[in-house]
A and B are shown apart, each in its own frame.
Chain A
Amino acid sequence: AQTVTQSQPEMSVQEAETVTLSCTYDTSENNYYLFWYKQPPSRQMILVIRQEAYKQQNATENRFSVNFQKAAKSFSLKISDSQLGDTAMYFCAFMNPIQGAQKLVFGQGTRLTINP
């Protein structure tokens, strides 16, 4: 069974700083997808970024980028120029689609606080 591990329960940085959240996963599959979701206090889970395992290039979305190391099974999220609105729980998630079925496996989450 696939597992996802986020080793940092909490992190705190000052506004405008850069922060990196760690995620490792365990799988024997070769084709899979990785995601970072953000869950602010409003509870709504919001997609931050998505990475396909077959792509060598790391995904980027504005201030958010990932460092995908397939051999090491590592998928970290970098937030540049952090903003107060980035304060949230961040979840790393893994998916290995099997015949269309799409089950997300989540890590335990990292609580990120951006301080003014």
Chain B
Amino acid sequence: DAGVTQSPTHLIKTRGQQVTLRCSPKSGHDTVSWYQQALGQGPQFIFQYYEEEERQRGNFPDRFSGHQFPNYSSELNVNALLLGDSALYLCASSLWRLAPHDTDTQYFGPGTRLTVL
């Protein structure tokens, strides 16, 4: 049973460039969440996708956008990169729960380390 996979593992970009990160969820999962983890910090929620729609968004600028495909995989795009965007980007997958106040556990991928020079 394949877990959550992310690509690439590492990425180096320069300021002003654009980047796309990819995530494949754990088999059977339909929901993908993205987190940014700065060095020495806890992860910060960027947004979550279900049924190809953004369902919830954290406090991130519009430079951060995403997409979910019919096979549930997802992309995170960041435009006009800033030095402060350097971080580990984590993808997590889970099952969407329709029952009120119910939730599924999120399983994380190994992350993509983005360095902006």
Chain A interface residues toward B at CB < 8 A: 4, 31, 33, 35, 37, 42-47, 50, 91, 93, 95, 97-109
Contact = CB atoms under 8 A, between A and B. Distances in A.
Given A102-B48, A103-B48, A103-B58, A47 B33 contact: no
B111 A100 contact: no
10 contacts: A45-B90, A45-B111, A47-B105, A97-B102, A101-B48, A102-B31, A102-B104, A103-B33, A104-B43, A109-B42
Most chain-B CB neighbours within 10 Å: which of A31, A35, A95, A100? A100
Contacts of B110: 42-44
B108 interface: yes
A106 B56 contact: no
A91 B40 CA distance: 11
B2 to A, nearest CB: 14
B96 A100 contact: yes
B48 A47 contact: no
A45 B55 contact: no
Contact of A44 (B50, B94, B109): B109
Nearest to B44: A106
Interface in B37-60: 40-45, 48, 50, 55-56, 58
Contacts of B90: 45
Q: Quick one: which of A47, A98, A104 has the most chain B CB within 10 A?
A: A104
Contact of B43 (A31, A91, A100): A91
Interface in B9-65: 31, 33, 35, 40-45, 48, 50, 55-56, 58
A107 B111 CA distance: 18
Interface centre among B44, B104, B106, B107 (most CB of A within 10 A): B106
B101 A105 contact: no
B103 interface: yes
Given A35-B105, A108-B42, A101 B111 contact: no
